């Protein structure tokens, strides 16, 4: 199945599940879920993953709408669906990922490193200090190619830094994000979305690989 873009019916379903998050409503609209949301999401994932297929260890994950009943969630279904390109790890939130997510309000995509372990960020600071130009240049290429800037949650107390020029990197604690937003409308409904998302994720792959080497220890 080729990706042809999402439709208004896709968003209508997501709005519906937000306001009717119960089994009876979902079962009555399950065909809409499959036709307008899940199958197009799989098609988008297959389209954007093609350039990544030759990268050792990378996998494509397509989420399902069902929440994990073992966690005793308040509602049985998610209000969004996502695609994730990452390596197989136990705690995905501690490792970098490239993603696309669709919510009732629209879509978002980019690079994410949500909750890196403190020791991973310590390795990051040591590497930045040892190779002062390497990571800033890597980051600048990704930002220039994608038009996205990287943001991060800072430490409350700044970490000691040997070089004032590197101080911004020494402040990073977690929630590293470079994210583009796609509002509901023509861009979301176009087949060109696949190229748009794919090119952006490709541009952030070197940054993702860099952080994976620091987090997978």
pLDDT for the residue 9: 97
For 27, list phi and psi in degrees, rounded to 5.
-60, -35
pLDDT for the residue 119: 94
* CA distance linking residue 174 with residue 113, whole number of Å: 7
Strand order in the sheet with 106-113: 58-62, 81-87, 97-103, 106-113, 172-183, 151-154
- Residue (of 161, 186, 182) closest to 171 by Cα position: 161
pLDDT for the residue 72: 59
Q: Which residues pair with 178 in a beta bridge?
A: 111
Q: What's the full length of the chain, in residues?
A: 217
Question: If you search the block for the tokens 């979902």, which residue do you land on?
Answer: 26
* CA distance linking residue 60 with residue 43, whole number of Å: 12
pLDDT for the residue 90: 78
For 174, list phi and psi in degrees, rounded to 5.
-170, -170
pLDDT for the residue 217: 63
How far lies 58's CA from each of 18, 75, 176, 181, 186, in Å? 32, 31, 20, 24, 31
Instruction: Write the CB contacts of 18 (distance below 8 Å, at least 6 apart in sequence).
Output: 79, 104
- Residue (of 164, 165, 174) closest to 124 by Cα position: 174
For 101, list phi and psi in degrees, rounded to 5.
-130, 140
Instruction: Write the CB contacts of 58 (distance below 8 Å, at least 6 apart in sequence).
Output: 52, 85, 86, 87
How far lies 74's CA from each of 22, 70, 77, 78, in Å? 10, 12, 9, 11
Q: What is the mean pLDDT of each run of 10 residues along the chain (217 residues)?
A: 95 96 96 97 96 90 85 83 89 90 97 94 95 95 98 90 91 96 96 97 96 84
Question: If you search the block for the tokens 């209508």, which residue do you land on?
Answer: 12
pTM comes to: 0.93
CB 184 within 8 A of CB 106: yes
pLDDT for the residue 89: 77
């Amino acid at each position: 199945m080729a990706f042809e873009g999402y439709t208004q019916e896709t968003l209508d379903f997501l709005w519906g599940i937000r306001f009717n998050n119960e089994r009876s409503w979902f079962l009555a609209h399950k065909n809409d879920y499959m036709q307008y949301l899940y199958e197009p999401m799989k098609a988008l994932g297959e389209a954007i993953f093609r350039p990544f297929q030759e990268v050792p260890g990378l996998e494509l994950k397509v989420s399902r709408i069902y929440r994990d009943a073992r966690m005793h969630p308040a509602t049985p279904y998610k209000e969004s669906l996502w695609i994730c390109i990452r390596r197989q790890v136990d705690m995905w939130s501690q490792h970098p990922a490239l993603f696309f997510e669709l919510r009732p309000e629209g879509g978002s995509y980019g690079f994410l490193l949500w909750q890196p372990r403190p020791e991973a960020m310590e390795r990051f600071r040591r590497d930045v200090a040892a190779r002062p130009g390497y990571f800033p240049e890597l980051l600048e290429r990704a930002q220039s190619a994608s038009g996205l800037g990287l943001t991060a949650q800072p430490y409350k107390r700044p970490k000691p830094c040997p070089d004032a020029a590197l101080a911004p990197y020494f402040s990073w604690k977690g929630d590293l994000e470079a994210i583009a937003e796609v509002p509901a409308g023509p861009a979301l409904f176009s087949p060109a979305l696949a190229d748009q998302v794919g090119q952006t994720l490709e541009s952030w792959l070197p940054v993702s690989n860099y952080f994976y080497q620091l987090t997978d220890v």
